[in-house]
A and B are shown apart, each in its own frame.
Chain A
Amino acid sequence: GAVVSQHPSWVICKSGTSVKIECRSLDFQATTMFWYRQFPKQSLMLMATSNEGSKATYEQGVEKDKFLINHASLTLSTLTVTSAHPEDSSFYICSATLAGGPSDTQYFGPGTRLTVL
C-alpha cells in the first residue's frame, strides 16, 4: 500500500517550453503532497507543499509563477515548469502523506528527470 506514481519518468524539452509532471497516490487519498527537486549528488530540497483545493505554499526562493502547482484532487497533484531553461534541469520528486495515517510519514514517487536543452 501507499504507492505514489509520477508521470513522466523522464522528459526532454526545448528551452522556453512548459512541462507538466503528474504525481498520483494510487491506493490512498493524500491530504498533502510535496514537491522536491534534487540536483546530482545532492539531497532533496523542498519546493512547495500543496493541499487539495487550496493554493500551494512555496519555499523561500522558489518562484511560484515558474513552478505552477495544481492539486486537483486527493489523489493528483501536478507541477508545471513554465518557460523551462537549462538550469531547471533536475530530478523532481513528489511525495504524499496518507489521509488518516501518521501525518508525518511521506511516501515518495519514483521521480521525474527533466532535461532542458
Chain B
Amino acid sequence: SQELEQSPQSLIVQEGKNLTINCTSSKTLYGLYWYKQKYGEGLIFLMMLQKGGEEKSHEKITAKLDEKKQQSSLHITASQPSHAGIYLCGAVSNFGNEKLTFGTGTRLTIIP
C-alpha cells in the first residue's frame, strides 16, 4: 500500500517568514493533493498536482511535484496567522482509483 511521509511533523514560524512542508511517497504518484485542516474541522482543498515537475500557486502558497512524481513540497511565502493549521498531503496511486491516502500531517503554528 502507498505510504506518505510528511516533514516536519510540526512547525512554528514567525509571522512574515517563509516555510516549506514536504511530502514523500513510497510509490510513484498519480495525483497529489494538498489540503489544509483547522483543528476539529473539515479539510479545505488547496491544490492538486499531477504531472512531473508541475508547480501551482494560489495566493502565497506554492506547491511543486518533482519529476519522478514521488515528492511534493508546499511553500508558503510571508506567512500570516491565517495560514496556521494542519497541512495534509493526499495521493491517488492509480488512474481511475479515487481513494486518497493521506500523509501524516504537518501542524503549522504562526507566532506574531
Of the A-B pairs whose beta carbons lie under 8 Å apart in the complex, a sample of 8, sorted by A's number, is A6-B42, A103-B96, A105-B48, A106-B90, A106-B98, A106-B100, A108-B43, A111-B40
Contact B88 A44 (CB under 8 A): yes
Residues of chain B contacted by A46 (CB below 8 angstroms): 99-101
Interface stretch (choices B14-22, B62-70, B102-110): B102-110
The 8 closest A-B pairs by CB, nearest first: A108-B43, A110-B42, A108-B42, A43-B102, A44-B102, A111-B42, A104-B31, A104-B92
Q: CB of A113 within 8 A of chain B?
A: yes
Question: What CA separation (Å) do A56 and B54 show in the bound complex?
Answer: 34
Point out the residues of chain B lying under 8 angstroms from A107, CB to CB. 45
Q: How far is the CB of A6 from chain B (nearest CB, A)?
A: 8
Q: Mark A75-112, 1 if CB is under 8 A from B, else 0.
A: 00000000000000001010101000011111111110
Chain B positions within 8 Å of A, measured between CB atoms, are: 30-31, 33, 35, 40-45, 48, 88, 90, 92, 96, 98-105
| Chain B positions within 8 Å of A25 at CB level | none
Interface contact B40-A91, CB-CB below 8 Å: yes
Would you call A67 an interface residue if the criterion is a C-beta within 8 Å of the partner chain's C-beta atoms? no
Q: Which residues from chain B contact A34 at a C-beta distance below 8 Å?
A: 98-100
> How many residues from A make CB contacts under 8 Å with B?
25
Nearest B residue (CB) for A45: B102
Q: How far is the CA of A110 from the CA of B41 in the complex (A)?
A: 5
Establish whether residues A43 and B105, one from each chain, have CB atoms under 8 Å apart when the complex forms.
yes
Enumerate chain B residues within 8 angstroms of A103, measured Cβ to Cβ.
96, 98
Q: Is the CB of A43 within 8 A of B31?
A: no
Given contacts A105-B33, A108-B35, A93 and B43 within 8 Å (CB-CB): yes
Q: A49-B98, A111-B42 are in contact. List 6 more A-B contacts (CB 8 A).
A: A43-B88, A43-B102, A43-B103, A104-B98, A105-B33, A109-B42
The docked-state distance in angstroms from the alpha carbon of A45 to that of B88 is 12
Rounded to whole Å, the gap between the CB of B100 and the closest CB of chain A is 6
Does A43 contact B104, Cβ atoms closer than 8 Å? Answer: yes
Bound state CA distance, A104 and B35, in angstroms? Answer: 13
Q: Which chain A residue lies CB-closest to B9? A: A41
